[in-house]
Amino acid sequence: MITFIVRRLLLGLFTVWLISMLAFAIIQLPPGDFVDSYIANLAAGGASVSADEANAMRKLYGMGQPIYVQYGKWIVRVVAGDLGESMEWRRPVAEVIGDRIWLTLLLSFAALLVTWGLALPIGIFSAVRQYSVADYIFTLIGFIGIAVPNFLLALIILYAAFRYLGLSVGGLFSAEYALAPWTWDKVKDLSWHLPLPAMILALSGTAQLIRIMRANLLDELRKPYVVTARAKGLSEMRTILKYPVRAALNPFASNIAYLFPYLVSGSIIISIVLGLPTVGPLLVRALIAQDVYLGGAIVLLLGVLTVIGTFISDLVLMWVDPRLRHQMD
Amino acid sequence: MAEPILSVRDLHTEFVANEGIIRAVDGVSFDVFQGRTLGVVGESGCGKSVTARSILGIVERPGRVTGGQIILRPADGPPVDLLKLPAKAMRDIRGPEIALVFQEPMASFSQYYTIGNQIMEGIRLHLGLSRRAARDRAIELLDMVGVPQPSRRVDEYPFQLSGGLRQRVMIAMALSCDPRVLIADEPTTALDVTTQAQILDLLRDLQQKQGLALILITHDMGVIAEMAHDVAVMYLGRAVETGPVGEIFSAPRHPYTRALLRSIPTVLAKPRTRLPTIEGSIPHPSNRPTGCAYHPRCLEIIDERCRAQEPPETGAATTRIRCFLHGGAA
Ligand SMILES: Nc1ncnc2c1ncn2[C@@H]1O[C@H](COP(=O)(O)OP(=O)(O)OP(=O)(O)O)[C@@H](O)[C@H]1O
Ligand SMILES: [Mg+2]
């Protein structure tokens, strides 16, 4: 078991390394070197950089040296926490990203909770009461949920809230808290704003998960061990929850990691529509403006988070599946 | 003879399917006595498993018991018709009164819980024991059915056991609440020959020690000869001949029983000759032949009556038969 974890860990590190090269490649992508475009950018803004400053920067970034030296210098600085300078914002990338990465995680996690909280019970109910009226209704809602793009839903809700309730539902904070430092009141404000975007973001995933859960459980319900449980005299509720549901849940553990990048990329459009302070819109802008260090840093962060997520779901899967646990001993 | 513990009378169980109503069990009757083994024998698909599930009231949708009686005579109190019991009372029958051992020991356990967990569940539910006491009892039971190192095995998962051990554990689980009737549904088909013999020995042993009434479902006449006191031969959802093993093996009367007996390999048979098999194949219950359901395959068919009418059940109290060769004149 330990060897399995170690192997996974090493594999994760290797993946992170590949991602870092990818991020570096993004940074190298625009023609000309970074310092040139940085200076040009500054000049366009009316500021100027002395030749000394420019040379100092060239040295810092290892310009003119072989590419692996540049990569080496970059990665050392990244590991030390210096993600570089954002051209567009004229501030360190770390500062620009700031809370956004945590808010992205929070939003994704909330969407995941909503997805599971809704999809699992509904999926179970639909399977147990297969072909009932309620099953058909949930199926219909589910297909609508899969078919409607969630940004459209976001737009409709924005419009409806504004038109009929006079509310502005965008953002994750009220105006007075948006730039304020973290306080309890700000957290409370956040918890008020979080559910709606989380729900919109969760919609299509929920609809899909209902289908998956229903199909899984229908499969499991036919298995002989369910008959065994009934033959023991367990109540129907207990039989279903303890045995087939447990088995049908297993695949979900391995889905955590898979869902994360999906939620992040899914959240980009929603974040733009709803004006959410997540990394999604930032990434889009960075890519459009060729703000290479910002874009590279975001790609790197998301990649690393996904790898961590994968590792965690490996652990979870091992924890919930005794067969997997014992295979490895 | 004493009164039977369990009497099944004219049991009907149907499945609603696309091709129409499938009468999986279509008028089965038999009696089970304390300390005796009833062998239920018949080809695949004749409704043996569905009969077993009907007795326990666990036929799954779209199946439904549509008629008959299942009379259980509890140790204390008057006989009850299980088909008329409310759901809660029926759950209390499963385990402490009637228990089931299944065909596939692997698929019949959940792979997500230890065997101890799965055995203790019924014990705690029906006998109300504490976790500790239930665990002790589970270990005792494992020991009783011949699982080595029971106190270690109790914490293992089903996939860690061999097929034979799994079936022993399944038997331990079935016996966990001291049932009076044990139904074993082809308990050895998934096992190799030596293990089969061991499991059958175990069942016979336990039955003698505990005075169980055992319903042994099989399609193997050899197993019946070795294990059973009484036999019910099933064909397409019905018991076509029932009676004590001795009588039926020495003087089988129903043509189907005779055909089944001919198909047992014997030590005396000439090597490399084909075993006699039964002509034709069993029809699916959804298109049951008219008249006697066996008539298309019957070698001793007498006349039009067999094709047109169903033979009624005739015979003495202990030996009953459905065949026009033996009474039931129209
Ligand atoms: N869930 C179900 N839905 C529809 N038909 C079913 C279902 N379960 C059983 N049947 C039908 O009932 C009939 C009897 O099945 P059963 O499982 O009792 O046979 P069996 O005698 O136990 O056979 P085997 O020796 O193969 O175990 C079969 O023809 C089968 O088609
Ligand atoms: Mg069967």
Q: Which residues form ligand 1's pocket by a CB distance below 6 Å?
A: B 15, 17, 22, 24, 42, 44-50, 63, 219, 285
CB spacing of A323 vs B157 below 8 angstroms: yes
Residue B94: pLDDT over 70: yes
In a domain, A212, yes or no: yes
In a domain, A304, yes or no: no
**pTM greater than the 0.95 cutoff:** no
Q: What is the distance between the alpha carbons of residues A256 and A314, in angstroms, rounded to a whole number? A: 9
- The domain spanning residue A182 has which CATH number? 1.10.3720.10
Centre of ligand 2 to C-alpha B32, Å, is: 19
In a domain, A269, yes or no: yes
pLDDT value at residue B268: 59
The single residue listed with the structure tokens 């005075």 is B211
> What residues 99-118 of chain B have any CB closer than 8 A to a CB of chain A?
99-100, 102-104, 107-113, 118
* Residues B51/B25, Cβ–Cβ less than 8 Å: yes
Give the mean pLDDT of A239-260.
Answer: 82
Residue B330: pLDDT over 70: no
In a domain, A271, yes or no: yes
Exposure string over B160-188, b if 16+ CB within 10 A, otherwise e: bbebbbbbbbbbbbbbbbebbbbbbbbbb
In a domain, A257, yes or no: yes
- The helix/strand/coil state of B254 is coil
Q: What is the distance between the alpha carbons of residues A266 and B189, in angstroms, rounded to a whole number? A: 52
Per-range mean pLDDT, top range of A193-207, A249-263, B56-70: B56-70
CB spacing of B125 vs A233 below 8 angstroms: yes
Phi-psi region of A87 (alpha: psi -120 to 50; beta: other; left: phi over 0): alpha
In a domain, A235, yes or no: yes
Q: Which helix (H) or strand (E) holds B141?
A: helix B131-144
Total count of domains within chain A:
1
* Residues B150/B158, Cβ–Cβ less than 8 Å: no
In a domain, A258, yes or no: yes
Q: What is the distance between the alpha carbons of residues B184 and B123, in angstroms, rounded to a whole number? A: 20
What is the CA B37 to chain-centroid distance, rounded? 10
> Which atom of ligand 1 lies nearest, measured to the CA of B234?
21
Nearest CB among B56, B110, B160 relative to A247 is that of: B110
Exposure string over B95-125, b if 16+ CB within 10 A, otherwise e: bbbbbbbbbbbbbbbbbbbbbbbbbbbbbbb
Instruction: Provide the residue range defining the domain that includes A196.
Output: 99-279
Burial-class residue B195 by CB neighbours within 10 Å (0-12, 13-18, 19+).
Answer: middle
Residue A296: what residue type?
A: G
To test the ligand 1 pocket, which listed residue (B14, B46, B58, B108) has its Cβ within 8 A of the most ligand atoms?
B46
Per-residue pLDDT of A20-75, as tens digits, reads 998 888 877 777 666 777 777 777 777 777 778 778 777 777 777 788 888 888 88
Please provide the DSSP assignment of B180-230 as one string.
Answer: SEEEEESTTTTS-HHHHHHHHHHHHHHHHHHT-EEEEEES-HHHHHHH-SE
Per-residue pLDDT of B58-69, as tens digits, reads 998 889 999 999
Tokens of A131: 């072909």
Q: What is the distance between the alpha carbons of residues B44 and B234, in angstroms, rounded to a whole number? A: 10
Q: What is the distance between the alpha carbons of residues B295 and B308, in angstroms, rounded to a whole number? A: 10
Per-residue pLDDT of B273-282, as tens digits, reads 666 677 777 7
In a domain, A217, yes or no: yes
Per-residue pLDDT of B10-37, as tens digits, reads 999 999 988 788 889 988 999 999 999 9
Query: Which is more confident, A240 or A188?
Result: A240
Query: Phi/psi at B67 (nearest 5 deg)?
Result: -175, 165
Q: Which among B136, B56, B37, B40 has a CA at the least distance from the CA of B96?
A: B56
Per-residue pLDDT of B246-269, as tens digits, reads 888 888 888 888 888 887 766 656
How close is the nearest chain B Cα to the Cα of A223, in Å? 7
Q: What is the distance between the alpha carbons of residues A226 and A282, in angstroms, rounded to a whole number? A: 50
CB spacing of B111 vs A326 below 8 angstroms: no
Residue B286: what residue type?
A: S
Q: Whose CA is nearest to atom 28 of ligand 1?
A: B45
Q: What percent of chain A has pLDDT over 90?
A: 20
Exposure string over A204-229, b if 16+ CB within 10 A, otherwise e: bbbbebbbebbebbbebbebbbbbbb
**Strand B20-32 relative to strand B6-17, pairing:** antiparallel
> Which atom of ligand 1 lies nearest, measured to the CA of B286?
29
CB spacing of B112 vs A322 below 8 angstroms: yes
pLDDT value at residue B45: 87
* Residues A105/A302, Cβ–Cβ less than 8 Å: no
